[in-house]
Structure 1
Amino acid sequence: MQEVADLVGDSLELARAAAKAEADVIVFAGVDFMAETAAILSPAKTVLLPAADACCPMAEMVTPGEVRVLRERFPEAAVVAYVNTSAAVKAESDICCTSANAVAVVESLDAEQVIFLPDRNLGRYVARFTKKEILPWEGYCIVHDRMTADEVLAARRAHPEAEVLVHPECRPEVIDLADHVFSTSGMVRHACDSPRREFIIGTEVGLLHQLEKKCPGKVFYPLSKKAICVNMKKTNLAKVCATLEECKPRVTVPEDTAARARVAIQRMLDLPR
């Protein structure tokens, strides 16, 4: 799938690219919240999701109703929604963030209390770099959350010359043992720029293909061979072909929801990079 795509990137990079693309039809080889974000940013375009059942379990761990309850409980708090959320949850939030800009987003807010949705691990990671009180929701990525400190130690023993890069969706004890913590795009940039030759990669194994492609001559080891997102893997060439032929299934977001979610996304996009 990565080899036939016009663009490979993280969810926000792809949504931005979809908005700028000249094409009227966008085929999103990912999960539902990614396609929703593309549809929100490109309301005049047709956004197709080849694997209609490709969902993100973490995005489903928080509902719009739960966000409203949190607002009532913490009326002075700002609500930050990770892009890995549904359009309906984004619509209930003040601003969105990515794993790459989460700290900057939180620091941009006037509120001293921040409700952080839905990833507890990313929320706790952000809390390390701000004086604001972070109130993390108890969601998690089923791929990153299952990585363990023992796996980091074992990987270091197996590859003593390798640098350990992990994603901030990992558990705190895994982050503590890493050399660096990056978003997926940050991992690619760091590996390409680093003089080091070997890297242990603590994220979904699909990223290794891009790392090997963009950093020839360097060696990459998965922190965990079990780090596979089965929902991302639901998209295949046959489904993409069928989607192109039939122009479905189409992803749409109700306009009232899209308009409110667009505000939260745009606030993030308007921040200085």
Structure 2
Amino acid sequence: MNTELIERIKELKEERNAIIMAHYYQIDEVQAVADYTGDSLGLSRKAAETDAEVIVFCGVDFMAESAAILSPDKTVLLPEIDAGCPMADMVSVDALRQKKAEYPNATVVCYVNSSAAVKAESDICCTSSNAVDIVNSIDNDQILFVPDQNLGNYVSQQTDKEIILWEGFCITHHRVKSNSIEKVRELHSDAEVLVHPECRQKVVELADFVGSTAQILKYAHESKAEKLIVGTEMGILYQLQEDNPNKEFYILNQGLICQNMKKTSLSNVLKALEDNKYQITVEEEVRVGAKRSLDKMLELSK
């Protein structure tokens, strides 16, 4: 059945001049059928550069929104309309405006894990790959960082700027505890521990390497270690094993699963291509403001 689905997906891609983009946290089958897999920064760049007329975005809603913001002339489809992001829901435009009023001189740095409307209300976006560089490039010593307090705290350890943290977090990464690292080190004393900066500070401090999904993939490939323990969403295992067939990988916690990222299936992808489900659009006034913040990030990330 999967073979038939995949063949039909390939046919429709050709017919519609479509590209399938997938985040590293998607299920293995979806990553395998994608034309491009990446983290938030890589996917943003690809969405801005592609010549395809249709972008099938296998991720969560804010990612598809970013593609629609950067490529308003293209059809952007989100195969699973209920694939949201709890962290993105932890900040609203009204709440952000209130916080900006409290800190009128602060530059607002918005993690891409946020809605288009929140991006439009911010000064510049960032991803986990470039957050430190983005913050350090800003000519202002006071930064309001939304919505991830853990990533913001990670950035604060690598800058002299004042970082005002929003009380948001990724429910998947936030559940990782420092004692998990201590336990796995007892079982695998020869392994390196790699974690995402969305994890809590104590977890970050105990890790051998901290980075975005793309940075974790790069580090794992270049590392001389034959055994690596990964503290991020388990979907990354697919690409890790593809890139490093002779290395062993373990997930730090069995609960490192983003249910929203796992909602997209091959059937969803096929349905998206067949019936234009579900087309993502952004109101023009919001799109222009959000694009300004994303463009600033992309310009500084070259």
Out of 160, 163, 167, the residue aligned to residue 196 of structure 2 is 167
What is the percentage of aligned positions where both structures have the same residue?
Answer: 53
Q: Which runs of 4+ in 1 moved over 4 A?
A: none
Tell me if the contact between 2:229 and 2:249 (Cα under 8 Å) persists in the aligned partners.
yes
Question: What is the DSSP-based 3-state SS (H/G/I as helix, E as strand, rest coil) of the residue aligned with 1:229?
Answer: coil
Tell me if the contact between 1:80 and 1:97 (Cα under 8 Å) persists in the aligned partners.
yes
> Greater shift after overlay, 59-68 or 8-17?
8-17
Shift of 1:251: 0.3
Provide the aligned C-alpha RMSD in A: 0.9
Q: Kindly provide the amino acid, as one letter, of the partner of residue 41 in structure 1.
A: L
Question: What is the DSSP-based 3-state SS (H/G/I as helix, E as strand, rest coil) of the residue aligned with 2:163?
Answer: strand
User: Which residue matches 2:20?
Assistant: none
In the alignment, structure 1 segments of 5+ residues that lack a partner are: none
The answer to whether structure 1 residue 73 and structure 2 residue 102 are counterparts is: yes
User: Which residue matches 1:155?
Assistant: 184
User: Which residue matches 2:10?
Assistant: none
Question: What is the DSSP-based 3-state SS (H/G/I as helix, E as strand, rest coil) of the residue aligned with 1:270?
Answer: helix
Question: What is the DSSP-based 3-state SS (H/G/I as helix, E as strand, rest coil) of the residue aligned with 1:3?
Answer: helix
Aligned residues: 273
Q: Kindly provide the amino acid, as one letter, of the partner of residue 252 in structure 2.
A: L
Residue deviations 1:67-126, cap 9 Å, x none? 111111101100000011100000000000011111111111111110000000001110
Aligned positions of 1:68-107 closer than 5 A: 68-107=97-136
Tell me if the contact between 1:2 and 1:8 (Cα under 8 Å) persists in the aligned partners.
yes
Out of 88, 102, 108, the residue aligned to residue 59 of structure 1 is 88
Question: What is the DSSP-based 3-state SS (H/G/I as helix, E as strand, rest coil) of the residue aligned with 2:296?
Answer: helix
User: Which residue matches 1:186?
Assistant: 215
Question: What is the DSSP-based 3-state SS (H/G/I as helix, E as strand, rest coil) of the residue aligned with 2:72?
Answer: coil
Tell me if the contact between 2:130 and 2:301 (Cα under 8 Å) persists in the aligned partners.
no
Residue deviations 1:196-255, cap 9 Å, x none? 111000000000111010112111100011100000000001111111110121000001
User: Which residue matches 1:202?
Assistant: 231
User: Which residue matches 1:134?
Assistant: 163
TM score, norm. by length of structure 2: 0.89
Tell me if the contact between 2:234 and 2:256 (Cα under 8 Å) persists in the aligned partners.
yes
In the alignment, structure 2 segments of 5+ residues that lack a partner are: 1-29
> Greater shift after overlay, 88-97 or 208-217?
208-217
